[in-house]
Every structure is written in structure tokens, then in C-alpha cells.
Chain A
Amino acid sequence: MKDLLTIDQLGADGIGEIMIAADSFAEVCQRPVPKVPALRGKTIASMFFEDSTRTRNSFDTAAKRLSADTMNFSASSSSVSKGESLRDTVETIEAMGVDAIIVRHKSSGAPQQIARWAQASVINAGDGWHAHPTQALLDVYTVRQEGRSFEGMKVAIVGDISHSRVARSNIEAFRTLGADVTLVAPPTLLPPFAESLGATVSHDLDSVLGDTDVLYLLRMQSERMNQALVPSLGEYHRTFGLTRDRARQLPANSLIMHPGPMNRGIEISPEVVDDPRVRVLNQVTNGVVVRMAVLYLVLSSAAAERSGE
């Protein structure tokens, strides 16, 4: 695996390999000095063409715990604002000598393009509405920690599927592991031919809740109202938000997840945020562990490929 661009490239075995590596890095993170020399001497560049403090910090922490050197690049402080092409920007960074590039971009497909141009490994940290593979990996890792089988598991993803890279990658990850995925959203927030993503579609959250093992809430962007995709955030909350009443309909052993940052009072009621079934902070913790696993596997296999093994 030279690059990690989408979940689909991994298959169940690839996901499994990352989960097992993540287990061993989880142990590392429990130590008094949570650091190993696994990537000492490697340089990892973070190229964030779109702001994301959480994902950037999560990757940065993961890289440092693996003893890699890190380099930060932000679009706002760069020549991108001066009209430089994506290829020129990437080749400039690569010329400084980097082993991996972590890319976050508001345009779908930018990491695919960069992977075609770059010798270095490319890790997709979220591209447009397309994919966010490390988010999906940390999500399935979080569910896996509960010790339940994915086979036949009922996963409901609720919210703005259409504009969500998290949704697309999670559909791929949960499906690959054998779960059944239902997308719950108004038709205006679903992509065309949503079923072709391999999921069931529902416009009625209440009819789905009783048979849900994992309820995955997506962040609702307020700008969607201006595009007339929903009438108001209040109406969205009443029809698709996880209210206290709806939380009662969820099975006792179900899990409530969210990629963050949460909009309290929109996709989730404030009084539900502290429900014992909520796993939001576990997701954040696991993010570091899973990203350590991804960086380690990508860079060690890239090194193996280069040495002709």
C-alpha cells in the first residue's frame, strides 16, 4: 500500500491489518512515554488545503508518537492563494524531501491527483465530499472495541449524506466488514442514486431507530439552508435530530457516534450528548491510534516496495 486514498482499496483484509496494528499502537499510547522509534528519520508533510484543526492535530500526534519528523503546510499561508497549480505546490513540497504527504482538500479527488504526481506516499485526510478513510477506520475500530461482530450489524448514518466524505467512507468500511447500512436523510441531502452506494435509504428516522446497532450522526452545515436543501435547522432537528424521545427508541446496547464537531441542538439534543451509549470521545482517542497504524503501514510498505522486496 503506497497510498491510502479510499476504503475500497483496502478490502476486509486491509482493514483487518490496520485494526491489528492499531491494537499494538493502542498499547504504546498507554505507556508513560507513549512513543516508539518506528518512523525515526521519516519526514511527513501535512498539506491542509482546508482548515481542520482536529484531523491535523490527530495526524500530527500520531506522527510524533512514531518519532517521525513533521512539516506543516497550510493553504492560507502558501502560494495556492497566488494561483499556483496543485501539481506545482505538491512538487515543491516533495522537492524538500518527504516520505509521506497527508492531504486534506476541499476538492474531491485531489489526493488521487497528487498520488499520480508524487513519489511519496499520499494519505487522504479528507477530500471534498468524496472520502475520509482514516475517519472511517477509526469509526470501525471504535465499534470493534465493543467486541461485537460486524456481520449483519445494523448501521444507520443520519444527515447530510450528499456532501459528506465521512458518510461515503463509512458506508464502504461498514459494508466491507459485513454490516448493513441505512442512510437516513431528506431526499435533498442524498446523492443521486444513493442506493448505488450499497446502502438502504430511508427518509424516516423513527422507523429505523428500533433496529439500529450503530447510529452515526453527521454534522449539519448551516449553509445547506441557503441552498434550500432544508427549510431550517429547527425543522431538521425535529425530523432528523437525535432527541431524547428518539434516544429512548434506540436499543440499550446500541452506539451513538459522530465525527465531530457536534452541533448540539441540531443533529443531537444537548441532553443526549452525555448518554452512556455515546462514543464520541472514544472516536477521538482512537483517531490517534488508527492514524499511527496507517502511517506505519503505508511508510513501511512503501519502503519495502522501494527496496524491491
Chain B
Amino acid sequence: MSTTQILRGGTVTDQRGTRRADVAWVDGVITDVADSIDPPVGSEILDASDAIVMPGLVDLHAHLREPGQEEAETIETGARGAALGGFTAVVAMPNTTPTMDHPSVVRDVLAIAEGASCEVVPSAAMTVGREGKLLSPMGELASMGVRIFTDDGDGVQDAALMLRIMEYASGLAAVTGGQPIVLAQHCEVASLSAGGHMHEGEWSGRLGMGGQPSEAETLMIVRDIMLSRRTGAHIHMQHVSTAEGVELIRHAKADGVRITSEATTHHFTLTDENCATYDPVFKVHPPLRTAADVAAIKAGLADGTIDAIATDHAPHEPHTKEFPFDQAPPGMLGLETALSLATAELELDMATIAALMSWKPAAIAGIGDRHGRPIEPGEPANLCVFDPSERWTISGTEMASRSQNSPYTGREATGRVRHTIFNGDAVVLGGEATR
């Protein structure tokens, strides 16, 4: 007999608003949402008092490193970290070894992800090997369910190739049943960022470090806006980091361009000044930028220019961050800290944050049928229970990740995920992973 599980005493926040309610589900499907639910005999009660119950979070951008770099992260450990951060779905980036540019690799990832602590949604490369030369088998990949295509880690440098990718993608509606294909671009003009290891600005000048100018990002945003206007392709700007980039996207949206965008937690919580320690834990692509850029990203999140908060969770084996700054790989952990930092650093109400971290990214990822759903009877029980007042100290070494490269280690944080419910299972219970 199936057990009824009940989240009791919480405040529900979803796209319908915020209200006091208990939430009950059986076999992964919500059965009741009411001010006070009388528990049937044998039901399991989960404490949600003083906590916010919202749809499970969705990350559009995570590097799970499997296959190929299992010493840094695996699908299992990455998904566990995601669950601890309140995510019930993460989009896995394709820069694995081998690259997720072929149905066989995507099938492997899906098979490994069976039984993981959250849904792993594979994206796939737009070009073979992410080399920016030949089209990946986008049609085959789309027919097996891939909706996000990206060469993340590198932008597609060749404008003619990008135009072809957009044109080709616009013909795939037949294999996706009308669902849109999203072309997610890592906006970086390589010739401008070459030799750069941090934002090009006052701090790079002072620290004697090669810089990546803002224009490395903005020129590619401009290019893809123009190509999208021509082709009608849905372009998604990954990890927007510049004030100018936010402004370009704002204008493009006003002009009706099919464009969405994401900003990472670190791009609205850290600046290039953090690099003054020369600690490679602060090295990331695109780089941490200035306080003015941080302010612009916050404004873009507030006014809807930026659709989603993503993590760009990028685990790296500890010793690789013990090389000099210019030799260390870029990237930082983000899954376990994103929600806490978003609530602490953004002056936004919980419903807006939930939109940015749950149902808006779910829609972009093409999983809005099962994630980011309103909390109502009949909906899947994919939920995040967040205690906004729990105080804790962030520690990279205590995370579920196989890596430790959190730039927030040592920071006192307020607000932490208490439970995560994935398909009805409490994969995180009282702040502890159960799978």
C-alpha cells in the first residue's frame, strides 16, 4: 500500500502565490494542498514549519563531468549536491569526454542517471566535439528528447556556422512534436579573450593579469541577436556577466527577438576584486566582473530581462586549483549554495526567486510538464523546502561534490534547504541526502 507523505506547517510559494498550506502526496503525485491536512493512518510527516515549500529548483547549467572526469564529479555526486541545493532537475552540460554530441553518449548519461537524486537533463553539443566546425546530429539528438544544444565552454566562433545551426534547428519541430529547440550560447569571442584569466579592468591592470574584456561577451550577444532576428531561432545566453550584455538582451526582448538568458550566482555575488588574492577558486569563465556589472545583473533579474538563475556548477579536482591562477582551470561549485545566496543577495521576494530558479528555467529546458509546476493536486511531487532562517557556514570540503572549489568557503550564510522531494521521495531530509 502506498504511503501518504505530508509536508506540514510550511508556507507554499508557487506561480499562484504564497499561502500557508500543508502538502500531501502519494506515489509521487500531489493529492492535497490545504491549510491543515489530517494525516491518514500510517502517513509520514515531514516538518515544514517556518519553511517555504516551493516547486523543485531547475538548473539550466551544471557540469556533472561524467563521462570522462569522474575524479572531479560524477552524475551521482553532482545530482546529490543538486538535491542538497533544492534542485529536482539539472541540465548537464555536454563538455564531457567523450563529448555529448552523439545519441550513444546521451543514452549513457541517461542510463547512469537512473536512480540519481534528481532528474539529469542532458544537453548536447551543437557541433561535433564542440570544435565549432561541423553540425552535431541535432535531429537524432532532438528525436531522443534533447532540447538544449550548446558548445558551452566555448562559443561558436564562426558566424556562418552559427547561422547554419540556427537555420537547421528551426526545421526540427517535426521531430520534437513542436517543442522548441534552444540554442544556448557561451558568449565569448575567443580572439578578444585570448590570454585573459580575469575581467579586463582596473584589477587586472593592478594585478598584472591578462584580461578578458567585456566586449568578448557582448560582441557575440550582438551577433547572435542579429542571427536570431534573421532565423527566428530561440537563443539562450548563458551566464551573462556584463552590464552591456544585460542591456543588449533587454533591447532584443523589447524588439521581439526569441531570446532568453541566465545569470549565475557568482556573477551577482562576487567581483573581479576577489581575484586580488590570486586564489584560483575565483577563476571562472566568463570572469567575475565589476560592481557595476553585478548591479546590472541584479537589475536584469529583477525586471525579467534575465530569465533564470543558473549555477554553472563546475567541479575541478582540488590539486588543479593549486596551480598558479593563469594555469588553473576556470569554474566553481554552485549547486549547494545557489538558493541561499540568491535569497541573501537579491532584494527579491521569494516568488520571484522561485520563478528564476524553478518554473522559468523549467520552461526553457523543455521540462515544464514535470518540474516547476504549481503545487496543486495532480501535479508531480517535485518540491524544495527551504528554511530561510537557518544559519550555516559554507564549506567546500563538506559538500556532496567530489570537488571542493566553492568560492564561498568560510562564508556565514542564512537560509538552507531542509528537504528536497523528487518524484515523491525525500532525497534530502533535514539537510541530509538520503540517496
Contacts and interface: CB of A to CB of B under 8 A. Distances in A.
Q: Do A and B come from one complex?
A: yes
Interface of A: 85-88, 105, 107-110, 112-113, 116, 127-131, 162, 165, 168, 191-194, 196-197
Interface of B: 200-202, 204-211, 277-279, 319-320, 322-327
Contacts of A196: 202, 205-206
A88 B209 contact: no
Contacts of A105: 324
Given A86-B322, A88-B322, A193-B202, A109 B327 contact: no
A197 B200 CA distance: 14
A112 B206 contact: no
A298 B6 CA distance: 65
Given A192-B201, A192-B204, A109 B322 contact: no
A136 B8 CA distance: 67
Contacts of B207: 108-109, 130
21 contacts: A85-B319, A86-B322, A87-B319, A108-B207, A108-B208, A108-B209, A108-B325, A108-B326, A112-B277, A113-B322, A116-B279, A129-B209, A129-B210, A130-B207, A191-B206, A192-B200, A192-B201, A192-B205, A192-B211, A193-B202, A197-B206
Contacts of B320: 85
A191 B325 CA distance: 18
A196 B200 CA distance: 13
A105 B208 CA distance: 13
Contacts of A107: 324-327
Nearest to B319: A85
Contacts of A130: 207-209
A129 B200 CA distance: 14
* The 10 nearest A-B residue pairs measured at CB: A109-B278, A107-B324, A191-B205, A130-B208, A129-B208, A87-B322, A193-B202, A85-B322, A108-B208, A112-B278
B209 to A, nearest CB: 5
Contact of B323 (A85, A128, A191, A193): A85
B324 A113 contact: yes
Given A85-B322, A128-B208, A191-B204, 4 more contacts: A108-B207, A108-B278, A165-B208, A196-B205
Q: Which of A86, A191, A197 is packed against the most chain B CB atoms within 10 Å? A: A191
Nearest to A169: B208
A128 B206 contact: no
Contacts of B208: 108, 127-131, 165, 168, 191
Q: Which of A88, A108, A197 is packed against the most chain B CB atoms within 10 Å? A: A108
Contacts of A108: 207-209, 278, 324-326
B206 A110 contact: no
Contacts of B206: 168, 191, 196-197
A193 B213 CA distance: 12
B291 to A, nearest CB: 14
A168 B209 CA distance: 12
Contacts of B278: 108-110, 112-113
Q: Which of A129, A168, A192, A194 is packed against the most chain B CB atoms within 10 Å? A: A192
A86 B209 contact: no
A85 B322 CA distance: 6
A73 to B, nearest CB: 16
Contacts of A162: 205
B205 A128 contact: no
A193 B202 CA distance: 5
Nearest to B201: A192
Contact of A193 (B201, B210, B279, B322): B201
B322 to A, nearest CB: 4
A1 B52 CA distance: 51
Contacts of B211: 192
B209 A110 contact: no
A87 B201 CA distance: 28
A168 B324 CA distance: 19
Contacts of B204: 191-192
A86 B323 contact: yes
Nearest to B324: A107
Nearest to A194: B205
Contacts of A168: 206, 208
Nearest to A113: B278
B44 to A, nearest CB: 47
A131 B276 CA distance: 13
A127 B208 CA distance: 9
A264 B253 CA distance: 58
A22 B317 CA distance: 45
Contacts of B323: 85-86
Contacts of A85: 319-320, 322-323
Nearest to A8: B206
A131 B207 CA distance: 8
A127 B325 CA distance: 12
Contacts of A131: 208
A87 B322 CA distance: 6
Contact of B209 (A109, A116, A193): A109
A129 B323 CA distance: 17
Nearest to B210: A129
B200 A86 contact: no
A193 B324 contact: no
B198 to A, nearest CB: 10
Nearest to B195: A227
Contacts of B210: 129
B205 A197 contact: yes
